[in-house]
Amino acid sequence: MYSITRHRKPRWLATIFVALTLSCALKGAYAESPAPGAPENEEAHSEEGHIALTPDQIKHAGIAVDRVGPASIRETLPLYGQIVPNAEREHTVSARFPGVIKNVAKQIGDAVQQGETLATVESNESLKSYPVLASLSGVVTQRNANVGEQTGDRALFVIGDYSTVWVDLSVFPADLSKVRVGQSVRIVNRDPSITGEGKITTILPVGSSTNQTTTARVLLDNPDHRWVPGHFVTAEVVLSETEVPTAIRDEAIQIVEDQTVVFVEGDEGFEARPVMLGRSDGQVSEVLKGLQVGEAYVSTNSFTLKSELGKEDAEHGH
C-alpha cells in the first residue's frame, strides 16, 4: 500500500542537481569502459529505447525504483486553513499569594519542564519566599513578571505545549455537508516538503460573519515543532477511499512524444512503457493498461531518464 505523504525537495533544484550528476556519471563511466565496437553516440544505451545505468549511477542520480501494486485512491476536498495553538495545552501561571517578585528565572522562548521554577515571590503576609512553578512542560510564550513588582492577580507567565497544534480549516456553506468529525485530513505547509496527517475533531457551531465560513478543527501531531502557529496551510479532507489493484506514484508519470509513459526496469536497463491511466488523487494513479502488478518502475526522478532518452533521439537524428 502506498502512503501519499511525501517529502520533496524543491523540484527546480532537484532537476538541476540530478541532471548534472547523471550527465557526469554517464560520461565518466562510459568514457572509461566503452562497449567493444559500440558507436560513440550509443554510450549510455545498451540497445535502442533502453537506458542502461550502473548501481552507482542510479544512486547518484537519486533514482528510486518501486513495485507496481495496489493502492488507495482518495477523493478529497481541498480547503485552506491556519495553524493555531492547541488551547488545551496552553496554561497561564499566576502567583499563589500576593507578594513582591524577588527573582525571574525564565524568559520568553525558554523551554521549561513541569514543576520547574519560573520565578520567586516574597509573600506580603508571611514575608516568606515561595517558587512560582510551571504547570506543564512547554515554552514560555508570555512573561509579565519583573523583579521588584507586586504580583497582583495577573498572569505572570503563559506556557504553551506545541507538541500538538490545531489546524482551523475554513469550510464554505456549499461544502459543509461533506465534512464531518473523524475524517482524515492531509495538511501541506507552504513548504511542500512538510506534510502531515490528522483527523477532524470538532466542527465549530458558530460560523464567521466576515467570510461566511465554518471552522473544521484538526488535531495535528507536532513533535518536531515544524508546524508554527500563525502560518497558513492547505488541506485535503478525505471524503472517500477506493482500493485499486494496480497503481503507481504520480511522480513516475512522464510524457514522451505525446504519450503517457512510465520508465520500467528490465534486463536491458530502463525503458519508457506507454500506459493507460484511470482514477487519480494527485498522489497515486490507477493503471488500466501497460503495467502488471510486481513490475519494477522508476517512482522518483524519472524525468532524468526522460532527458537521457531525449538525448538519444537527438543523436540519432544527426
Which residue(s) pair with 64 in the sheet?
Answer: 300
| Cα(6)–Cα(234) distance, integer angstroms | 15
Structure-model confidence comparison of residues 40 and 204, the more confident one: 204
What pLDDT digit, counting tens, does each position of 92-148 carry? Answer: 999 999 999 999 999 999 999 999 999 999 999 999 999 999 999 999 999 999 999
13-20: Cβ within 8 A, 24+ apart:
14/62, 14/301, 15/303, 17/62, 18/61, 18/62, 18/301, 18/303, 18/304, 19/304, 19/307
> Residue 75's Cα: distance from chain center in Å?
19
| Cα(100)–Cα(123) distance, integer angstroms | 7
| Cα(247)–Cα(279) distance, integer angstroms | 9
51 touches 251 (CB < 8 A): no
Residue 316 has what pLDDT?
55
pLDDT above 90: residue 162: yes
* Residue 288: partners with Cβ closer than 8 Å, 6 or more residues away: 246, 275, 276, 277, 278
| Cα(55)–Cα(3) distance, integer angstroms | 26
Q: Residue 168: helix, strand or coil by DSSP?
A: strand
**Cell representation of residue 111:** 523551554
Average pLDDT, integer, range 274-288 = 94
The label of the residue with cell 532537484 reads: 14
Confidence band for 317, pLDDT divided at 50, 70 and 90: low
* Residue 175: partners with Cβ closer than 8 Å, 6 or more residues away: 77, 79
Whether the model pTM is above 0.75 = no
Amino acid at 312: E
157 touches 95 (CB < 8 A): no
Alpha-carbon torsion 16, 21, 26, 32, what sign?
positive
pLDDT above 60: residue 32: no
| Cα(176)–Cα(204) distance, integer angstroms | 11
Average pLDDT, integer, range 286-302 = 95
Lowest mean pLDDT among 9-13, 116-120, 200-204, 276-280: 9-13
Average pLDDT, integer, range 242-268 = 93
